[in-house]
């Protein structure tokens, strides 16, 4: 791997994705879904329906969770230690 590519991946936080790292939920062991923020395009909607990602909506915060567990309905921060439970302000399509 080229050094500058590596630096780029680290700098953009995409190194985990590049290496195929799949974070697991510390609570239930389920594979965590990356949360995508912003206005999703059709491709993101498709991924969301396939269960590959979780749409986080347009909320803009300095620190926001990056992983979602479908089982626990929890949103985890990058360190997988801090999380927020899904609340009513998250759209719930199942009920
Ligand atoms: Zn879980």
Q: Is the pTM of this model over 0.85?
A: no
Q: Supply the mean pLDDT for the chain.
A: 84
Residues within 5 Å of ion ligand 1 by Cβ? 25, 27-28, 30, 69, 71-72
**Angle at the Cα of 34 from the Cα atoms of 4 and 24, rounded to 5 degrees:** 100
Residue 15 has pLDDT above 90, yes or no: no
Q: Report the separation in Å between the CA atom of 86 and the middle of ligand 1, taken as the mean of its atom positions.
A: 12
Q: Report the separation in Å between the CA atom of 78 and the middle of ligand 1, taken as the mean of its atom positions.
A: 15
Rounded-to-integer distance, Cα 45 and Cα 26, Å: 26
Rounded-to-integer distance, Cα 21 and Cα 26, Å: 15
Question: How many CB atoms sit inside 10 A of residue 23's CB?
Answer: 16
Q: Report the separation in Å between the CA atom of 72 and the middle of ligand 1, taken as the mean of its atom positions.
A: 4
Q: How many residues are present in the chain?
A: 95
Residue pair 32/68 in contact (Cβ under 8 Å)? The answer is yes
Across the range 66-89, mean pLDDT stands at 88
Q: Are strands 83-85 and 74-76 parallel, antiparallel or unpaired?
A: antiparallel
pLDDT, residue 92, reads 53
Rg (CA), the chain: 14
Rounded-to-integer distance, Cα 83 and Cα 66, Å: 10
Render pLDDT for 53-64 as a digit per residue (tens, 0 to 9): 999 887 666 678
């Amino acid at each position: 791997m080229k050094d500058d590519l590596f630096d780029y991946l680290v700098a953009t936080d995409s190194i985990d994705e590049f290496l195929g790292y799949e974070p697991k939920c510390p609570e239930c062991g389920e594979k965590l879904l990356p949360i995508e923020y912003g206005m999703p395009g059709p491709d993101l909607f498709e991924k969301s329906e396939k269960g590959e990602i979780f749409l986080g909506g347009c909320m803009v915060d300095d620190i926001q969770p990056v992983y979602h567990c479908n089982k626990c309905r929890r949103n985890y921060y990058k360190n997988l230690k801090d999380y927020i439970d899904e609340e009513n302000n998250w759209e719930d399509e199942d009920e």
